[in-house]
Amino acid sequence: MSTIRVLLVDDHTVVRAGLRGMFESDPGFVVVGEAADGAAGAEQAAALRPDVVLMDLQMPVVDGVEGIRRVRAVPGGPPVLVLTTYDSDVQILRAIEAGAAGYLLKDAPREVLFDAVRSTAAGGSPLAPTVAARLIGRLGPGAPARGGDALTIRELEVVRLVARGSSNREIARDLRISEATVKTHLLKIFAKLGVADRTSAVTTALERGLIDLPGRE
C-alpha cells in the first residue's frame, strides 16, 4: 500500500507534535503539513493535497466544523477525519453534516487511529464505537439503539453497493442522491449493525443474511 499523506489541523502545538511523532514512527504514513485553525487547514489542504486531513473541532479563528466545510469545498478536496475530545451529539452531527468522513476521539489507541486514517484514505467512514452507538438516536425519528435492527430498503441498497466496492460518490450517482445522504445512510447502518466502518458493515450484513455476495443477487 502506498504511503498515506496526512495533514494535521489542531491548535495545540504539543498535540500536533505528538501526532507527528506517532505517524512518523510508521513508514505507511507521512505528515505533509500542520495548521492551527480551520482556515489555515483548508489553505494547506489546497496547497499540499494530502490524502487525509486530521481535524480538531475546537480551535480559535476558524473552528473545525467550518474548516471541514472549507476543505471539502476545495476541488478534489481530501477527506477529513475528525480527531477531538468532544463527543456530544451536537458536535458529532455538525461535523458529519459539514462533510467529515469519520469521527474519532483523542483517547483512541495508536492502532485504532492508524486504522481509521487508512480507512478514511480508502473512502471509508470510521467512527469511534461510542459515536456510532449514539448517532442512531439522532439521525432518524424512532430509530432503534443498535445491533440486530432491520435495515430499510434504501439502507440495504447502500450496503449492497458498498459490498460491490462502490465509493460514496458512485453510490450517490447510482441511487440519485447526494453524497451527504449516502453518508447519513452509512452512519445509520453502522449504528444498527453495531459496527464502525464499511468493511465491518458488509461482513455483518453478509453474516446475517441481509445481503448476498456480489454477483449472486
- Find out if CATH 3.40.50.2300 is the number for domain 4-126: yes
Q: CA–CA separation, 124 vs 91, rounded Å?
A: 20
Burial of 26 (0-12, 13-18, 19+ CB in 10 A): middle
Q: Tell me, what's the pLDDT at 142?
A: 40
Q: What is the mean pLDDT of the chain?
A: 85
Q: What percent of the chain has pLDDT over 70?
A: 88
Residue 11 has pLDDT above 80, yes or no: yes
Burial of 25 (0-12, 13-18, 19+ CB in 10 A): exposed
Residue 86 Cα distances to 58, 89, 99, 138, angstroms: 8, 9, 17, 16
Q: Tell me, what's the pLDDT at 158?
A: 93
Segment among 19-28, 58-67, 79-88, 194-203 with least mean pLDDT: 194-203
Residue 126 has pLDDT above 90, yes or no: no
Residue 166 has pLDDT above 60, yes or no: yes
Would you say 29 and 7 are in contact if contact means Cβ atoms under 8 Å apart? no
Q: Tell me, what's the pLDDT at 102?
A: 87
Average pLDDT over residues 96-111: 88
Average pLDDT over residues 193-207: 83
Domain boundaries along the sequence of the chain: 4-126, 134-207
Segment among 118-122, 137-141, 163-167 with least mean pLDDT: 137-141
pTM, two decimal places: 0.69
Q: CA–CA separation, 166 vs 123, rounded Å?
A: 9
Q: Tell me, what's the pLDDT at 147?
A: 42
Q: Tell me, what's the pLDDT at 205?
A: 87
- Find out if CATH 3.40.640.10 is the number for domain 134-207: no
Query: 178: Cβ–Cβ under 8 A, 6 or more apart, which residues?
Result: 172
Q: Tell me, what's the pLDDT at 133?
A: 61
Burial of 50 (0-12, 13-18, 19+ CB in 10 A): buried
Residue 53 Cα distances to 109, 156, 165, angstroms: 18, 30, 23
User: Residue 209 — very low, low, confident or very high, per pLDDT cuts 50/70/90?
Assistant: confident
Question: What is the DSSP annotation of 31-55?
Answer: EEEEESSHHHHHHHHHHH--SEEEE
Average pLDDT over residues 56-60: 93
Smallest Cα–Cα separation from 149: which of 162, 133, 172, 166? 133
Query: Which residue matches cell numbers 469521527?
Result: 103
Same CATH fold assignment for domains 4-126 and 134-207? no
Q: Tell me, what's the pLDDT at 134?
A: 63
